[in-house]
């Protein structure tokens, strides 16, 4: 389904009961974030803030549930897009035995041609109003979290072009506003736009950049999609909406933009200029990404529709709206991965607690020994999957969309010393756990049923004695109480046959976690526990989802794992992980450690006071009330 514009999408959401208009004044500085954070964690409606102190309303959380994400892409279910891609791929690549078979392809080829982006003459609706003096500060750009470096544009669809080939790239990178006509351009070293920038730098030329906000939501999604290099994201948008993207020429640069966008920001990046210190920014990891140097973007023109809506999002401690954008990618790109790279894949899930790059669960059809490791290596070599920190491979009939069922399956079929592989390679720039930026450890877990060739003679058979685990709970909890540095233990997963225990620890010396791991896992009380995860004493480790989120962010699995072999033949092997904050004094860790995200007390109180006027129903307490207690001393950077 093609939306005529963002206003059309808003009407469809409102007609479906999926949007609330907020007429009470809410400040784009911190307050919109606080309202949205409460709503998004309840999987609540899209929010249209109509009174922001600016001339333009703000739309946020518009894709904040699976239903709305599917609506944005014009389908009933996200898997429908994957089925469409699969059908198209089979049609185009299947054997053509006769002239008639080839003729039958013509309608399909004609349909593909109708999705190609097309430049039209004249001006578009996006250029109905031209700012006489461009000033991005007139837009209601959000300052999201208390330690953010300033306001950030969070859903900009950014176009760059290869200076040699002219091939367009469309990406989504945050933009910090510095003044009326300058922002940062936060493209990471691994991104296509960063490569374009380097080519302009070699040529000694300014780099034209076009930024749009709004329009058909397919544009925003397509800008996030992990497409192969050289594939036009606007072609994907055309495929999703089943209608070509119509483009119009920019006014001050040689670029073209979707005619139905709400805002167009034109400008350039000059590679000869010094970079600017950008950030911090409360990021999708739930932590601040810390200040670093990025290119300056100079604005030469701003145009907009007569009735524009400022589209944005917030990111932070999951779940947030971006979880559903990630879910769309998970479902849509499953089919291409199966068809082109890893045909044995049955399904794949990126759990929200893993914030995209930290954790992926893959289900395969297993036919031969070592196949799980082959799949891991294939995926680590596939585009943005290279950033995946922890990859778990299962097989059989397990429903990988049920986290408990997955954990139970892993427990049954995984030996910590036999089935976990450690490696290293490129890491996401936002991964703060790496000892060196953008380069860190990886872990692959083969939790498939083992074939004869994969078994180790003399080792215990795979499986878990659930009743024995239940009987061990009291002994485990009593053992932990013997050590004053251990503050709490969470044995809840043992009740479901999952031999994983969380322990919180007060770190006070070098080698402490390794020492405690060996002590506990060598004790009779922990004999049936396969995995032990250490977390910080400031955390509420009774919340398993939060425990997984903090662990997956804080661990470099190659550096932070401790193997503990069975003390006697036939007994279980064990592994422990240090999921605590790393510091120089105790861990030799040299990098700054970021803080987690929480609204400040004044913002929480202000939103509490006006909640009854927002039209959002029953009061929702601030999630920050919980996380403020877990903040480290310091600002965006935790004090050493």
Catalytic residue numbers, as ranges: 283
Cα angle, residue 70 at apex, residues 311 and 259 outer, rounded to 5°: 45
CB 430 within 8 A of CB 379: no
Residue with tokens 């200076």: 163
Q: What does the chain come to in residues? A: 640
Question: What is the β-pairing status of strands 207-213 and 263-269?
Answer: antiparallel
- Provide the phi-psi class of 409: left if phi over 0, else alpha when psi is between -120 and 50, else beta: alpha
Cα–Cα distance, 344 to 366 (Å, whole number): 7
**Burial label, 94 (beta-carbon count in 10 A; 0-12, 13-18, 19+):** exposed
SS3 122: coil
Sequence-separated contacts (24+) of 47-52 with Cβ below 8 Å:
47/19, 47/20, 47/22, 48/10, 48/19, 48/20, 48/21, 48/22, 48/309, 49/22, 49/140, 50/21, 50/22, 50/23, 51/22, 51/23, 51/24, 51/25, 51/26, 52/25, 52/26, 52/27, 52/28, 52/140
Cα–Cα distance, 562 to 550 (Å, whole number): 18
Token duo for residue 163? 């200076």
Question: What is the β-pairing status of strands 256-258 and 246-249?
Answer: antiparallel
Token duo for residue 131? 């700012």
Q: Which helix (H) or strand (E) holds 374?
A: helix 371-380
Q: Which helix (H) or strand (E) holds 277?
A: strand 276-278
Residue with tokens 């703000």: 58
How many helices and strands in the chain, by DSSP H and E?
A: 20, 30
CB 398 within 8 A of CB 469: no
CB 341 within 8 A of CB 334: no
CB 51 within 8 A of CB 615: no
Cα–Cα distance, 543 to 205 (Å, whole number): 53
| 216 phi, psi to nearest 5 deg | -55, 130
Burial per residue of 194-217, b for 16 or more beta-carbon CB atoms within 10 angstroms, e otherwise: bebbebbeeeeebbbbbbbbbbbb
CB 605 within 8 A of CB 561: no
**Burial label, 273 (beta-carbon count in 10 A; 0-12, 13-18, 19+):** exposed
CB 278 within 8 A of CB 293: yes
Cα–Cα distance, 531 to 511 (Å, whole number): 19
Q: Which helix (H) or strand (E) holds 505?
A: strand 500-505
């Amino acid at each position: 389904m093609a939306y005529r514009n963002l206003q059309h999408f808003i009407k469809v959401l409102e007609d479906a009961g999926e949007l609330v208009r907020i007429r009470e004044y809410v400040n784009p500085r911190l307050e919109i974030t606080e309202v949205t954070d409460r709503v998004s964690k309840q999987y609540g409606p899209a929010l249209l803030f109509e009174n922001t102190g600016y001339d333009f309303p703000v739309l946020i959380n518009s894709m904040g549930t699976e239903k709305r994400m599917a609506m944005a892409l014009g389908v009933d279910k996200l898997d429908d897009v994957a089925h469409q891609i699969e059908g198209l791929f089979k049609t185009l690549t299947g054997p053509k035995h006769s002239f008639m078979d080839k003729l039958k392809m013509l309608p399909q080829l004609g349909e593909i041609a109708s999705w190609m982006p097309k430049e039209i003459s004249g001006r578009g609706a996006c250029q109905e109003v031209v700012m006489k003096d461009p000033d991005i500060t007139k837009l209601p750009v959000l300052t999201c979290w208390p330690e953010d470096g300033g306001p950030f544009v969070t859903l900009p669809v950014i176009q760059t072009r290869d200076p040699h080939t002219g091939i367009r790239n469309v990406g989504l990178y945050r933009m910090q506003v510095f003044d009326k006509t300058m922002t940062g351009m936060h493209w990471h070293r691994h991104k296509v736009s960063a490569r374009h920038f380097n080519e302009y730098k070699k040529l000694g030329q300014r780099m034209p950049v076009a930024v749009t906000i709004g329009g058909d939501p397919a544009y925003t999604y397509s800008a996030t999609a992990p497409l192969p290099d050289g594939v036009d994201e606007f072609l994907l948008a055309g495929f999703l909406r089943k209608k070509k993207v119509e483009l119009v020429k920019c006014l001050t640069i040689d670029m073209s933009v979707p005619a139905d966008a709400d805002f167009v920001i034109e400008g350039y990046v000059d590679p000869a200029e010094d970079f600017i210190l950008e950030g911090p920014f409360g990021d999708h990891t739930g932590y601040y990404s810390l200040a670093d140097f990025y290119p300056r973007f100079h604005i030469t023109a701003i145009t907009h529709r007569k009735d524009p809506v400022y589209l944005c999002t917030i990111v932070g401690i999951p779940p947030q709206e971006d979880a559903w954008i990630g879910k769309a990618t998970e479902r849509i790109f499953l089919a291409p991965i199966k068809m082109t790279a890893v045909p044995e894949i049955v399904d794949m899930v990126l759990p929200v607690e893993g914030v995209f790059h930290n954790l992926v669960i893959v289900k395969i059809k297993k036919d031969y020994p070592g196949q799980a490791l082959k799949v891991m290596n294939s995926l680590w070599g596939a585009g943005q999957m290279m950033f995946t920190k922890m990859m778990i491979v299962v097989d059989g009939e397990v429903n990988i969309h049920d986290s408990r069922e997955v954990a139970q399956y892993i427990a049954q079929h995984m030996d910590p010393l036999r089935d976990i592989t450690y490696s290293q390679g490129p890491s996401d720039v936002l991964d703060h756990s790496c000892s060196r930026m953008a380069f860190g450890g990886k872990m692959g877990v083969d939790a498939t049923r083992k074939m004869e060739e994969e078994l180790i003679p003399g080792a215990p058979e795979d499986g878990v004695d659930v009743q024995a685990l239940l009987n061990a709970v009291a002994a485990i909890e009593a053992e932990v109480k013997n050590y004053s540095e251990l503050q709490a233990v969470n044995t809840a997963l043992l009740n479901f046959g999952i031999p994983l225990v969380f322990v919180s620890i007060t770190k006070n010396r070098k080698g402490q976690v390794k020492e405690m791991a060996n002590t506990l896992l060598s004790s009779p009380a922990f004999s049936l526990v396969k995995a032990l995860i250490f977390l910080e004493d400031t955390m509420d480790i009774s919340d398993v989802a939060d425990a997984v989120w903090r662990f997956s962010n804080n661990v470099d699995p190659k550096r932070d794992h401790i193997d503990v072999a069975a003390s006697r033949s036939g007994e279980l092997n064990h592994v422990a992980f240090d999921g605590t904050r790393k510091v120089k004094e105790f861990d030799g860790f040299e990098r700054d450690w970021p803080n987690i995200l929480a609204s400040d007390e004044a913002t929480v109180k202000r939103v509490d006071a006006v909640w009854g006027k927002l039209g959002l129903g029953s009061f929702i307490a601030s999630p920050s009330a919980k996380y403020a207690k877990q903040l480290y001393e310091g600002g965006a950077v935790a004090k050493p």
